[in-house]
């Protein structure tokens, strides 16, 4: 296959996937009697175009199946709806296979069930010559497509530009200070010119970064409809599995949002829809007894306002029994029995981990998973999730998330010697700690704020960082999703725009961290997930650290160091850092209490293998050493073992659990 032919096939597949998805949505609307008068004609037009393209390109079996589909859609006989959807699924599979692939054995049966003649026209065989795609067909789609990886690289470049801009601005300030100290002299004149040049460069860099940022934001925008269009089929199929009549209606205002938002929200939306069909929509007999139509309705409304995507998912089902939620939450120890909460607040408890009112699990619900994951996902995107419900009338989920998450506003601060950040839209306020004293209560330490007692989370304890000595103690009031919390132990608060970068698999779903920011001085600030702060803080209070060993991490990457450190500190380990082997030897002299060395291999000055040799040559006790490297060949592992490595982990396999499982035996 020539490159041109391969490009044509790829373009066709992308267009066909879009076309089949839209046809599926339209057909469900026809079945539910909510379609526009022209919908059937639009379906037939799309199918006719697809039939011609598959015939030209040589997708065997597709033209016959589409021909039968056209007849079925036109006749609309009783009971044909499910067969039409199965035929659309089969077409999706055919066009994803290579042209000329033998006809799938299920096609003749589907053609017959659709009411078509299995010998109907456009029967292609493998010997049938395939015409080349005409320019007219190839030119149907004129939009420019950009690979997501290229956008990600452009986003990272913007982050580097932003850091460089800040460094240049700092240098300009330093040059001005030197000129002022130098007085009127030749040096003063030269410094003045240099200062002006740096400031001009800084201004130009600022303009360039702004242009790039705006360009990337526009390129990454995708229609919300691309996510919503498949949900009616999901609701319909699940309803049939549960013997319920369900339709899902979508209303969206042609909104566009960042690709990461769409990808992040998709599974969360599916969870809510499945929950609505299983828990919310009643069985037909129950609905009839309550004076409702047997057909249950789920309505999704999506709109963009003030740089936020607002999505409402409402069903007309049985609603949530707040009394049952309160009882189950107390019985399972998820909340304190003495807690006084309104019905609206009780509804939020269904977002707690492990919560379910089901006595037994089904294939769909009852395992205590789903809504907790939905809540964590929305919070990780910097958004919020609220629930409203009325018994026998229905339940409404309201999601609000920023339309762009790659470049966002954050509150940057320091905890001990580490840098951290929170999305600005999750920060309610920053208050004076001296004016708001921490008090003890039966549920733990609290702070009074606007007439309510807020739980207190100690960030130094949660993150394993020593406390901050600040002239003025501040409390950060954070919206955690279950209400407001007060975070203590932070300092040097600063609002700024930042490029968020993925933190990688090392930060598991249990981590309080969701992303990373590379600062202008090369340090890394970890972005905290507000939804996890209260949960992780409570877990920290309930469980004592499992280890008090001091570990020396030797790695020239600040990001790897910070991510590995977070895993170890979450288990009570004290962490010391070195950037290469020579610095590691100095640190060992300064800290004789080190009980384990975790080292990379490739580093400047002295690499990890040379460090192993020096470690094993040290007199006295033998310090265990673990190698964490990108090198994964057996020869590399054998060489490290021969030099005295006690364990070896490849960075591509690095996760929270794999790292701790490996290290635990050395520090327990």
State the pLDDT at residue 215: 74
pLDDT at 216 over 90: no
State the pLDDT at residue 285: 93
pLDDT at 132 over 50: no
Of 104-118, 213-227, 234-248, 390-404, the least confident = 213-227
Alpha carbons within 13 angstroms on the beta-carbon side of residue 461 total 17
pLDDT at 129 over 50: no
* Integer CA distances (angstroms), 356 to 331, 368, 390, in order: 12, 5, 18
Structure tokens at 137: 């067909």
State the pLDDT at residue 290: 92
Interval 191-211: pLDDT, tens: 777 777 777 777 777 777 777
Residue 463 contacts residue 415 (beta carbons within 8 Å): yes
Q: Report the share of the chain in percent with pLDDT over 70.
A: 79
- CA-CA distance, 632 to 578, in Å (whole number)? 23
Of residues 47 and 49, the one with the higher pLDDT is: 47
> Nearest CA to 401 among 275, 495, 263?
263
Task: Give Cβ neighbours of residue 105 (< 8 Å, ≥ 6 apart).
Answer: none
Strand partners, 387: 397
- CA-CA distance, 541 to 535, in Å (whole number)? 10
- Per-residue pLDDT, averaged over 66-71, amounts to 89
pTM, two decimals, is 0.55
> Nearest CA to 407 among 512, 501, 310?
501
- CA-CA distance, 176 to 581, in Å (whole number)? 39
Confidence of residue 467 (pLDDT cuts 50, 70, 90): low
State the pLDDT at residue 652: 67
Structure tokens at 509: 């779903």
pLDDT at 286 over 90: yes
Residue 594 contacts residue 588 (beta carbons within 8 Å): yes
Instruction: Using the structure block, give the residue that is written with the tokens 């995507």.
Output: 309
Of residues 58 and 656, the one with the higher pLDDT is: 58
Confidence of residue 407 (pLDDT cuts 50, 70, 90): low
State the pLDDT at residue 357: 61
Interval 304-355: pLDDT, tens: 887 788 999 999 999 988 888 888 777 766 666 666 667 777 787 787 765 6
State the pLDDT at residue 34: 73
Backbone angles phi, psi at 355, to 5 degrees: -80, 135
Q: How many CB atoms lie within 10 A of CB 292?
A: 20
State the pLDDT at residue 385: 86
- CA-CA distance, 148 to 544, in Å (whole number)? 43
Burial of 183 (0-12, 13-18, 19+ CB in 10 A): exposed
Of 29-33, 347-351, 354-358, 445-449, the least confident = 354-358
3-state secondary structure of 597: strand
Instruction: Using the structure block, give the residue that is written with the tokens 């004016």.
Output: 435
Of residues 384 and 140, the one with the higher pLDDT is: 384
Interval 139-158: pLDDT, tens: 333 344 566 666 676 777 77
* Integer CA distances (angstroms), 630 to 506, 556, 603, 650, 654, in order: 14, 13, 12, 6, 10
Q: N- to C-terminal Cα distance for the chain?
A: 59
Task: Give Cβ neighbours of residue 409 (< 8 Å, ≥ 6 apart).
Answer: 423, 424, 425, 495, 496, 497, 498
State the pLDDT at residue 554: 92
State the pLDDT at residue 503: 61
pLDDT at 124 over 50: no
Structure tokens at 359: 């006595």
State the pLDDT at residue 358: 59
Confidence of residue 125 (pLDDT cuts 50, 70, 90): very low
Percentages (nearest 5) of helix, strand, coil residues in the chain? 45, 20, 35
Backbone angles phi, psi at 502, to 5 degrees: -60, 140
- CA-CA distance, 498 to 425, in Å (whole number)? 14
CA torsion sign for 284, 288, 290, 292 is positive
Compute the mean pLDDT over every residue in the chain, rounded to the nearest whole number.
78
Residue 588 contacts residue 570 (beta carbons within 8 Å): no
Most confident of 34-38, 58-62, 249-253, 618-622: 58-62
- CA-CA distance, 272 to 268, in Å (whole number)? 6
Interval 633-646: pLDDT, tens: 888 888 998 898 88
pLDDT at 185 over 70: no
- Per-residue pLDDT, averaged over 386-415, amounts to 86
Residue 612 contacts residue 645 (beta carbons within 8 Å): yes
pLDDT at 214 over 80: no
Burial of 126 (0-12, 13-18, 19+ CB in 10 A): exposed
Q: How many residues are present in the chain? A: 668
pLDDT at 13 over 90: no
Most confident of 245-254, 503-512, 596-605: 596-605
pLDDT at 84 over 80: yes
Residue 551 contacts residue 594 (beta carbons within 8 Å): yes
pLDDT at 416 over 80: yes
- Per-residue pLDDT, averaged over 20-47, amounts to 83
Q: Strand runs (DSSP E) across 579-646, as ranges?
A: 594-599, 625-629
Residue 34 contacts residue 249 (beta carbons within 8 Å): yes
- Per-residue pLDDT, averaged over 256-276, amounts to 85
3-state secondary structure of 551: strand
pLDDT at 118 over 60: no
Of 26-35, 283-292, 335-344, 555-564, the least confident = 335-344
Residue 558 contacts residue 565 (beta carbons within 8 Å): no
Confidence of residue 133 (pLDDT cuts 50, 70, 90): very low
* Integer CA distances (angstroms), 33 to 21, 25, 38, 40, 372, in order: 19, 12, 13, 12, 35
3-state SS of 149-212 is HHHHHHHHHHHHHHHHHHHHHHHHHHHHHHHHHHCCCHHHHHHHHHHHHHHHHHHHHHHHHHHH
Interval 498-547: pLDDT, tens: 877 766 555 544 457 777 887 777 678 888 888 777 655 544 443 333 44
């Amino acid at each position: 296959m020539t490159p041109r032919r391969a490009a044509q096939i790829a373009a066709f597949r992308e267009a066909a996937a879009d076309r089949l998805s839209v046809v599926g949505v339209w057909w469900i609307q026809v079945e539910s009697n909510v379609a526009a008068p022209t919908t059937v004609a639009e379906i037939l037009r799309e199918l006719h175009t697809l039939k011609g393209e598959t015939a030209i390109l040589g997708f065997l079996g597709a033209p016959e199946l589409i021909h039968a589909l056209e007849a079925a859609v036109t006749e609309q006989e009783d009971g044909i709806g499910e067969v039409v959807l199965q035929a659309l699924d089969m077409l999706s599979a055919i066009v994803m296979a290579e042209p000329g692939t033998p006809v799938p054995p299920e096609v003749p049966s589907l053609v017959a069930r659709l009411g078509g003649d299995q010998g109907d026209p456009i029967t292609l065989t493998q010997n049938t010559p395939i015409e080349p795609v005409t320019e007219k067909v190839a030119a149907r789609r004129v939009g420019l497509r950009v690979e997501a990886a290229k956008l990600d690289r452009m986003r990272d470049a913007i982050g580097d530009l932003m850091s460089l801009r800040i460094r240049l601005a700092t240098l300009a300030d330093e040059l001005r200070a030197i000129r002022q100290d130098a007085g009127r002299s030749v040096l003063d004149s030269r410094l003045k010119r240099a200062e002006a040049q740096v400031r001009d460069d800084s201004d130009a860099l600022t303009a360039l970064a702004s242009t790039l940022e705006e360009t990337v934001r526009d390129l990454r925008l995708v229609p919300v409809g691309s996510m919503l269009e498949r949900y009616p089929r999901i609701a319909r199929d699940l309803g049939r599995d549960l013997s319920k009549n369900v339709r899902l209606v979508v209303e969206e205002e042609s909104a566009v949002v960042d690709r990461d938002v769409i990808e992040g929200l998709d599974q969360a939306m599916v969870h809510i829809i499945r929950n609505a069909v299983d828990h919310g929509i009643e069985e037909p007999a129950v609905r009839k007894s309550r004076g409702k139509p047997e057909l249950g309705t789920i309505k999704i409304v999506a709109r963009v306002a003030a740089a936020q995507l607002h999505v409402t998912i409402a069903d007309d089902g049985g609603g949530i029994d707040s009394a049952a939620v309160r009882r189950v939450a107390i019985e399972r120890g998820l909340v304190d029995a003495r807690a006084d909460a309104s019905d609206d607040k009780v509804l939020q408890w269904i977002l707690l981990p492990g919560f379910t009112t089901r006595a037994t699990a089904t294939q769909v619900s009852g395992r205590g998973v789903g809504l907790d994951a939905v809540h964590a996902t929305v919070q990780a995107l910097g958004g919020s999730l609220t629930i409203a419900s009325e018994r026998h009338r229905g339940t409404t989920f309201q999601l609000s998330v920023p339309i762009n998450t790659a470049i966002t506003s954050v509150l940057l601060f320091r905890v001990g010697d580490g840098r951290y950040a929170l999305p600005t839209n999750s920060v309610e306020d920053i208050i004076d700690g001296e004016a708001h004293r921490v008090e003890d209560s039966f549920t733990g330490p609290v702070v009074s704020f606007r007439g309510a007692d807020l739980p207190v989370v100690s960030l130094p304890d949660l993150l394993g960082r020593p406390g901050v000595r600040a002239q003025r103690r501040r409390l950060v009031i954070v919206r955690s999703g279950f209400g407001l919390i007060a975070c203590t132990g932070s300092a040097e608060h600063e609002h700024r725009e930042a490029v968020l970068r993925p933190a990688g698999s090392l930060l598991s779903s249990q981590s309080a961290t969701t992303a990373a920011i590379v600062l202008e001085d090369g340090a890394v600030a970890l972005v905290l997930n507000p939804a996890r702060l209260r949960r992780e803080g409570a877990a920290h209070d309930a469980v004592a650290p499992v280890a008090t060993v001091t570990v020396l991490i030797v790695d020239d990457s600040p990001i790897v160091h910070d991510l590995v450190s977070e895993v170890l500190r979450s288990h009570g380990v004290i962490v010391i850092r070195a950037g290469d082997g020579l610095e590691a030897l100095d640190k060992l002299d300064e800290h004789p209490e080190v009980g384990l060395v975790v080292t990379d291999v490739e580093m400047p000055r002295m690499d990890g293998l040379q460090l192993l040799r020096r470690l094993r040559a040290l007199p006295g006790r033998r310090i265990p050493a673990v190698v964490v490297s990108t090198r994964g060949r057996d020869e590399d592992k054998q060489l490290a073992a021969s030099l005295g490595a006690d364990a070896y982990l490849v960075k591509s396999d690095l996760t929270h659990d794999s790292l701790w499982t490996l290290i635990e035996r050395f520090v327990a």
